[in-house]
Structure 1
Amino acid sequence: MAAEAALSQRLRAAVHYTVGRLCQEVGEDKDVEFSKQTIAAIAETTFRQCENFATDLELFAKHGKRTTVNTDDVKLLARRSKALLNFITEKCNDLACNNAEQKEKRALTTGKGKKKPDDHLEPTVTESEDATID
């Protein structure tokens, strides 16, 4: 339990730091200042929302009788934000295309030099040859 609490505190600190940096960047760009309380509130809200997302993703996977969260679970989570859903769908499609291309390349490179000689080919039996006529 103590290790879990320590990990949670480290994650909270990382989120707080990242939110602070983002607020700093936005503040410089928009010529606005964020108070420490505002940054802390945004960080806490972000952390809690991420916890909710994680819980929902686990439940979606469990409902699908799986132990691993997949892209369909993430899409389901993002369903209320059309822009986010479109972005995630586009990224999933890009990843799928890249994975397919890599598989093709691997198949081509591993297939070279591995072909059986012609004298070891299995004979093909057609349906007409296999059927017995009485």
Structure 2
Amino acid sequence: MSNEEDIHQRLRAAVHYTTGRMCLDIGRQQGREFSPQVIAAIAETTFRQCEVFATDLEAFARHAKRSTVTSDDVKLLARRSTALANFIQRKNELLIKDQKHGKKNAGKKTNKDQEDSNAAPHL
């Protein structure tokens, strides 16, 4: 197995593990259980979608004649999901605000920032 294949498999395993943990947490909150097959299907779908996102982000940057993916590329990627686009816009604004305040405040979060940081978009 090449190093690239090894990294690919480790990423896939990490997505599967994280998906399983999230399903467990959500299941506890909702009083439900997720079968191993459902968790595997969600993990595989997530992994494949991330591969598509990565390819699209690279294409957007290349089209703009850049070698670096920027937040504008991510916003373009999310344009079809209003909730996701709004979430990304808020996160981007927080990052810009933190950069403007410099390193002395970068590690400090207000309660509002923490809530925004943890709030997932409703898709």
**TM-score band, normalised by shorter chain:** 0.7 to 0.9
Distance 2:31 2:100 in 1: 46
How many residues are treated as equivalent by the alignment?
104
Q: What one-letter code is carried by the residue in structure 1 that aligns with 2:68?
A: T
- The equivalent residue for 2:19 is 19
- The equivalent residue for 1:51 is 51
Which consecutive aligned stretches of 4+ in structure 1 deviate over 3 angstroms post-superposition?
A: none
Q: CA deviation at 1:87?
A: 1.3
Q: What one-letter code is carried by the residue in structure 1 that aligns with 2:96?
A: A
Q: Which moved more, 1:87-96 or 1:46-55?
A: 87-96
Q: What one-letter code is carried by the residue in structure 2 that aligns with 1:36?
A: P
**TM-score (normalizing by structure 2):** 0.80
1:26-65 matches, within 5 Å, as 26-65=26-65
> Would you say 1:101 and 2:109 are equivalent positions?
no
Structure with the greater alpha carbon radius of gyration: 1
- The equivalent residue for 1:126 is none
- The equivalent residue for 2:113 is none
Q: What one-letter code is carried by the residue in structure 2 that aligns with 1:51?
A: E
* 1:100-124 CA-partner distances (Å, limit 9, x unpaired): 2228x9xxxxxxxxxxxxxxxxxxx
Secondary structure in 2 matching 1:68: coil
Q: What one-letter code is carried by the residue in structure 2 that aligns with 1:42?
A: I
Q: List gaps (5 residues or longer) in structure 2.
A: 106-123
* 1:26-81 CA-partner distances (Å, limit 9, x unpaired): 11111111111111100000000000000000000000000000000000000011
Q: List gaps (5 residues or longer) in structure 1.
A: 106-134
**TM-score (normalizing by structure 1):** 0.73
- Aligned Cα root-mean-square deviation (Å): 1.6
Distance 1:92 1:98 in 2: 10
Secondary structure in 1 matching 2:23: helix
- The equivalent residue for 2:90 is 90
Distance 2:80 2:54 in 1: 16
Larger RCO: 1 or 2 (CA < 8 Å, sep 6+) = 2
